[in-house]
Amino acid sequence: MQFSRFSLLICLPATFASSTWAQALEDDDAALLPAVVVTANRVETTIASIPGTVQVIDEEQIRSQSGAGRRLADILDQLVPGMAPSSGGMSNFGQTLRGRSVLVLIDGVSQNGIRDTARQLNSISPDSIERIEVLSGANSIYGAGAAGGIINIITKRNQGQELAFTSKLGTTASNRFKGSGFAYEGFQSATGRKGPLDWYVSGAYTQRNDQFDGRGRRIAQDTSQGSNMDTDTYDLQGRFGYQLDDSKRLTLGLQNYRDKQNTAYTKDPNNPDEAVAVRGLRLDDQPATQNRAINLNFTDQDFFGQGLNIESYWRKSEALFFPDVARGLAGIAATDSSTTVYGIRTAIDTALPAIGAATGNLVWGADLSQEVGRQRAHHYAVDGLNYNRTGIIYELGPDLKTSTRALFAQTAWEWGPWTLRGGIRQEWIQSKVQDSIAYGEIVLTGNRAILPGGTLKYDATLYNLGAVYQLNEQQNVFANFSQGFSLPDIQRFLRDVSSDYNIHNLNTQALKVDSYEIGWRGDWYPVQAQVAAYLNTSDVTQFYDAEERALRLISQKERVRGVEGSLNWYVNTRWSLGGSYAWTKGQTQQNGQWIHLPATRISPAKTTLFTTYQQSNYSVRLQALQLANYTAALNDGNGRRTDGYTLFDLIASIELPQGRLEGSIHNLTNRNYQALMMQASGRPPIPNAQGRTFGLAYTLDW
C-alpha cells in the first residue's frame, strides 16, 4: 500500500476519539480506558470491554463541526476515519464504512429500508443530537443492513433540569459574502422535570441558499442525488419520560423532519463540457426528504432479577428526486419513494452463575418488524427548463411487503484481564413482491408488460466471537470475528429488468459478510490512540455502475481489507494535536482475477490532522482532511478515476458572560475541487464542491 507524505505525519493509523480527556486534564489520576457506555450493543457496555473499533462522538464535537447548512454526513466525514467522504448534498450515497453499507439508527430505530434511497443521514438536524455511537465492522445485533457497521444517533433529552431552555441563531456566508449565498439556522429547545415526568422538545430550522465554488461561481445542481442549495429544513423533536417506580420507566419519542428544495436553478443541459448553473428552472415538485417517527420504549431494571427492554416503533420515510435525463423510451421521470416500517424489539439482560473467578451475563431476545415499500416515477414533458407532469406514472420496481423475525443471544464473560464475547442471531426475512409493470422493458421497447411477483425468502444464522485482553490499566488488545447480513436492494434491482425476468433468482443473492478484526487501544496521559486492521469477505458483489446507471448484483467473491487508526496527544493543558488515517482496498473476483471495486464502494486513503489551543473560556482548532487519488478501479475497467484533495478548516469558540459564540471557516484555502462521490458516480459534467465559507453562531442556555 502507498502512503502520501501528508499521511506520514500520522504516527499511528484509526478510529477512537472521545472527549473524556477534559476530565483527565483536570485530574492526572483519572481512570484510563474510561467507562464510556454505548447502547448500540443493545445493553450498556464499556468501550474497554468491546472487542472491536468503537467511537463515541459527543455533543461538543458535533456542535463544533456543524455550522449553518452543514449536514450530519459532513460531520461524520471529518470525525470517523473509516467512513467515506460526504457527497456535500442531500444524499449519503456511496458513504460506506469500511467499504460496506452502514446501518443508521436514531435512538435505536433503523433508518434503512429494503429500498435504499441513501437519505439516512439526511433524517435529523445535528442540533438535535446528543451523541453518536459508531461501531465499525459487520454486526448482526440489530439485524440486516450492518455489513460495514452501525451508526447509532442518540437524540437530546432531559438531563435532570427542572426547567431549562437553549436558543441558537447562526449563519454561514460564501467567500465573497454575496447576499444570495447566506445560509441561516435557528434552534430552540425546552426541557423540564416534575415528579416522575420529564420532557424535552426542540425545533431546528435551516435555510440554505446559493453555494459557490472556489472560483466564486454558483455551483450547478446535482440532478441525480440532490443538492443542498435552495433548501429549507426543519426538525421537530419530542421526548417524554415517565418513571413508573424505582426500576420501571416508559419513554415516548416523536420526530417530524422535512428537507425540501425550491430553486430556479439547474445544470445547463446544453453544456456537455462544464457543469454550469443556469436560471429559469420551472418545476413544481422538487427534491425532498421527509421522516416521521414514533418510538415507545419500556424498561424494567428488576424484571424477576433481570433487565428488560421493550422497544416499539413506527416510521415513515419519503424521498422525492429530480426528474433526471431521459431513460430510453420511458422518457424523463422523477423518482418518488415511500417506506413505512413498524416493529418491536425485546432484550433481556440475565446475570449468569459465576464459573470460578469468571462472571458473565446473557442478553437475549426477539425482534419483529414489517416494512411496506413502494416506488413510483412521475413522467414529465420537458421544454427547455420547463418541466410539466404528463400524468403518466411508472412503477420503479414492484411494491414490497417485507416481514422480519429474529431471535438472538449474546453472552459476555470477564475473567481476570480477559473479556470474552460471543453470540448468535437467527433471522428470517420474507418479501412479498407484487406484480408490476416492468420498467426496464418500457425503457427498451416501450411495451407495458407485467413482471410477475412472488415471495422471496431469506434466512441467515449469524455468529460473533471476540476477546479483549487488558495489558494494563492503560491499554488493551482485541480480536473479533463477526458476521453481517444485508438483502439486495430488490426494488432498485428489479427496476432494470424485463418482464421475463424470474424474481426468484434473487433468493440466492443475499449478502452475508464475514468480518475479521484485530486491534490495540491505549489511553494514558498525555496520549490516546488506537490502531486496527480488518478483513471482510462475501460471496456476492453489489455496486452501482456509474456508466450504465444500473445496480449490479453478481454472485462472485469479494474482499475488503484495511487499516485505520488515530492518535491524540495532549501536549499540555492548552495545546493538543493528533489525527487519523484510514486505508481501504476492495476487490471482487471476476473470471478468476481479483479486480478493484469502484469508488462508490471503496473510499481512497483518508488522512485527518488537527491542532487545538484551549484556554478557560475559548478554544481554536485547525484541522485538515486529505483524500488520495484513486485509479485502481479505472485501471481494472471497473470504475472511474477520482482525484484527491486537501481541505483545511478553522474552528473557534468563546464563552461570553451570557452565552457562547462559535465561528468557523471551512475550506480555509478556498480549494476548487469536486467531491469524491460526484467524481465516482455523478452524471458528467461534474459540478464543483463548495469553496470557502464563513460561519458564525450564538447559543444561549437559560
| CB 531, CB 14: distance < 8 Å | yes
Residue 695 pairs in a beta bridge with: 172, 664
Residue 646 domain-assigned? no
Q: Which of 42-46, 441-445, 586-590 has the lowest mean pLDDT?
A: 42-46
Backbone φ and ψ for 516, nearest 5 degrees, come out as: -120, 140
Q: How far, in Å, CA of 113 to CA of 436, rounded?
A: 20
pLDDT confidence of residue 1: 43
The stretch 672-688 carries a mean pLDDT of 92
The stretch 621-631 carries a mean pLDDT of 97
pLDDT-derived band at 549, boundaries 50, 70, 90:
low
Number of domains in the chain: 1
pLDDT confidence of residue 145: 84
DSSP H helix total and E strand total for the chain: 7, 37
Residue 169 domain-assigned? no
pLDDT confidence of residue 511: 80
- How much of the chain exceeds pLDDT 90, in percent? 77
> Mutual orientation of helices 72-79 and 59-66 as an angle, nearest 10°?
110
Residue 345 pairs in a beta bridge with: 311, 367
DSSP E strand boundaries for 321-357: 332-355
| CB 182, CB 206: distance < 8 Å | no
pLDDT confidence of residue 225: 83
pLDDT-derived band at 415, boundaries 50, 70, 90:
very high
CATH number of the domain to which 408 belongs: 2.40.170.20
Q: What is the pTM of this model?
A: 0.92
pLDDT confidence of residue 26: 39
What tens digit of pLDDT does each residue of 72-110 get? 999 999 999 999 999 888 989 889 999 998 999 999 888
Residue 282 domain-assigned? yes
Is residue 546's pLDDT more than 60? Answer: no
- How much of the chain exceeds pLDDT 70, in percent? 92
Q: How far, in Å, CA of 583 to CA of 604, rounded?
A: 7
| CB 412, CB 419: distance < 8 Å | yes
Backbone φ and ψ for 327, nearest 5 degrees, come out as: -115, 95
**DSSP state at residue 444:** H
Expressed as residue numbers, the domain containing 86 is 7-155+189-207+216-603
Residue 255 domain-assigned? yes
Burial group, residue 169, by CB count within 10 angstroms (0-12, 13-18, 19+) = middle
Burial group, residue 51, by CB count within 10 angstroms (0-12, 13-18, 19+) = buried
pLDDT confidence of residue 412: 95
pLDDT confidence of residue 477: 97
The stretch 513-525 carries a mean pLDDT of 94
Cis before 81? omega within 30: no
Mean pLDDT of the chain: 90
pLDDT-derived band at 544, boundaries 50, 70, 90:
low
Residue 31 domain-assigned? yes
pLDDT confidence of residue 30: 36
pLDDT confidence of residue 625: 97
Q: Whose CA is closest to 269, among 321, 217, 325, 226?
A: 325
Residue 181 domain-assigned? no
The residue with greater pLDDT, 200 or 473, is 200
Residue 375, CA distances (Å) to 102, 201, 292, 433 in order: 22, 33, 18, 13
What tens digit of pLDDT does each residue of 128-167 get? 999 999 999 998 888 888 889 999 999 999 999 999 999 9
pLDDT confidence of residue 543: 61
Residue 609 domain-assigned? no
> Which amino acid type is present at position 54?
V
Is residue 634's pLDDT more than 50? Answer: yes
Residue 628 domain-assigned? no
Most confident of 49-58, 138-147, 513-522: 513-522
pLDDT confidence of residue 40: 62
